[in-house]
């Protein structure tokens, strides 16, 4: 029987309004499924309480009622295991997102410190003391 411990997740972040990140779900370090999407949603996820949607890999399946439909290429029959996979994807996504935000904040703080240090190096000049013949 497969368990959540047999599954590894890899996340790749995107800076796109319709695709936040993509995940690889690897089973037993042998079988890789690519194309799991983490997308923005207009509804809160019932478990993660964030406006995102995690979608398994799929393919365009035609148009129904004026909207593109998709068929799934990966299906997990065990609902409990699927929920655990989704949770593991979300956890890996949050860890990477927090790491990237932390690195961005450190970079911004470092830049601000450098700007502040440069400001300290400037000496005050009294305009009245500058000779007129320059």
- For the entire predicted model, the pTM comes to 0.74
Burial zone of 57 (CB within 10 Å; 0-12 exposed, 13-18 middle, 19+ buried): middle
Assign residue 49 a region: left if phi > 0, alpha if psi is -120 to 50, beta otherwise? left
Dist. CA 75–CA 61, nearest whole Å: 16
Which pLDDT belongs to residue 12?
95
Q: Are 104 and 97 in contact (CB under 8 A)?
A: no
- Band (113; pLDDT cuts 50, 70, 90): low
pLDDT at 125 over 90: no
In the Cβ-directed half-sphere of 48, how many Cα atoms lie within 13 Å?
22
Which pLDDT belongs to residue 102?
78
Query: Could you tell me how many residues make up the chain?
Result: 134
CA distances from 103 to 97, 100, 110 (A): 10, 5, 10
> Across residues 107-113, what is the average pLDDT?
65
- Band (49; pLDDT cuts 50, 70, 90): very high
> Across residues 3-18, what is the average pLDDT?
93
Q: Are 4 and 85 in contact (CB under 8 A)?
A: yes
pLDDT at 123 over 60: no
Q: Give the pLDDT confidence of 70-95 residue by residue, as tens digits.
A: 899 999 999 999 999 999 999 999 99
Q: Are 57 and 75 in contact (CB under 8 A)?
A: no
């Amino acid at each position: 029987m497969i368990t959540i411990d047999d599954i590894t997740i890899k996340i790749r972040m995107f800076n796109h309004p319709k695709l936040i990140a993509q995940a690889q779900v690897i089973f037993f370090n042998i079988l890789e499924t690519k194309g799991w999407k983490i997308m923005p949603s207009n509804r809160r996820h019932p478990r993660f309480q964030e406006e995102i949607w995690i979608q398994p890999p799929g393919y365009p399946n035609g148009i129904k009622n004026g909207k593109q439909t998709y068929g799934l290429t990966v299906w997990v029959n065990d609902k409990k295991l699927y929920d655990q996979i989704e949770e593991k994807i979300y956890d890996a996504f949050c860890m990477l997102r927090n790491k990237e935000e932390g690195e961005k904040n450190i970079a911004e703080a470092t830049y601000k410190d450098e700007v502040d240090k440069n400001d300290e190096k400037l000496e005050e000049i009294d305009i009245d003391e500058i000779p007129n013949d320059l």
